[in-house]
Structure 1
Amino acid sequence: MPGVTGGYLASVTDSSDATVEAVGKVTEALEFVERARGHLYSFHQLMGHADLLLGDACDALREAGSAAVAERLETDVVGRNVLFGRWTFQVVEEFDDSYWSVLREHERRVRDELSGGARHVHEARMKEHRRTHGRSGHEARP
């Protein structure tokens, strides 16, 4: 990664404000998609855990003498698709392959073409503007 005094700072200062803002919006959109993907993985794990618990509940219902209730739940709900033909792992994989990975590649290409590959140029400009130069805790880089 280039140092502050090298190519990185140049990309922070050389790009027009309009370009930095536009590239930043693409990156921000990706950040929201990353968050949505995290929620999708949470959904995947929560649904998987719920299905396992429901299976345990069916076993407990049988042991408690309610075999017909357990059978009904097990037959109709345990292992059921959450969407037509899909368990949650398939939803996650389809999202990753058809949307998330495509947007990640486009965001990287936008940065490469318009910001010399630098990430978070808007934030880097903001930091450079807001920090107190020469003050401990306000260093430009680690």
Structure 2
Amino acid sequence: MTHSEHHRPDGTDDATVAAVGKLTEALETVERARGHLYSFHQLTGSADFDLGDAAELLEKAGHHRAADRVRAELVGRNVLEGRWTFQVVEEYDDGYYGVVKAAERDIRNELVAGRRHVYEAELKEARRTHGRPGHEATPHQAVSNEATPRE
């Protein structure tokens, strides 16, 4: 991605850049929540297999009633009414997540020509120390600086 792909389009005001930046920040939080939901999905699946293993160990130890209870009440149990975690993940992806992601993309396309992270790029430009190694505006400038001998 080039440096110019992060510049605000001509005529775009500060309030618009800030608003679209906040919308993107919200999407990023939704992305993080989605990652936690996938962790929940995988951890719950692992726990279900552990419950099955626990039932087998209880059986081998002679605790048949306890093993039967674990198998009947816990192994393969829904986490929400009628749903295993894969169904929760799918419903989230197809519903809330999909709607937020589409709205952010559509509004960003409409208001800042689809450019991503315009707010952050301007924040970077304002906060970096120009001309100092490690503060280059783009990766290309960093590579150029490495090729230039330092005094």
2:7 is aligned, of 6, 9, 17, to 9
Map of 2:110 onto structure 1: 113
1:89-128 to 2 correspondences below 5 Å: 89-128=86-125
2:130 is aligned with 1:133: yes
- CA distance in structure 1 between the aligned counterparts of 2:106 and 2:86, rounded to whole angstroms: 28
Which runs of structure 1 show a deviation greater than 3 angstroms over 4 or more consecutive aligned residues?
none
Residues 1:7 and 1:42: Cα distance change in structure 2 (over 3 Å): closer
- CA distance in structure 1 between the aligned counterparts of 2:36 and 2:122, rounded to whole angstroms: 30
SS in 1 for 2:7: helix
Map of 2:69 onto structure 1: 72
Q: Identity over the aligned pairs, expressed in percent?
A: 60
Map of 1:60 onto structure 2: 57
Contact 2:8–2:17 (CA under 8 A) maintained in structure 1: no
- CA distance in structure 1 between the aligned counterparts of 2:6 and 2:25, rounded to whole angstroms: 19
Deviation of the 1:118 alpha carbon: 1.0
Unaligned runs of 5+ in 1: none
The one-letter amino acid paired with 2:103 is: H
Query: What TM-score does the superposition give when structure 2 sets the normalisation length?
Result: 0.86
Query: What TM-score does the superposition give when structure 1 sets the normalisation length?
Result: 0.91
Map of 2:34 onto structure 1: 37
- CA distance in structure 2 between the aligned counterparts of 1:98 and 1:126, rounded to whole angstroms: 32
Unaligned runs of 5+ in 2: 140-151
Residues 1:127 and 1:14: Cα distance change in structure 2 (over 3 Å): farther
Deviation of the 1:139 alpha carbon: 1.2
- CA distance in structure 1 between the aligned counterparts of 2:118 and 2:8, rounded to whole angstroms: 10
CA RMSD of aligned residues (A): 1.4
- CA distance in structure 2 between the aligned counterparts of 1:93 and 1:117, rounded to whole angstroms: 27
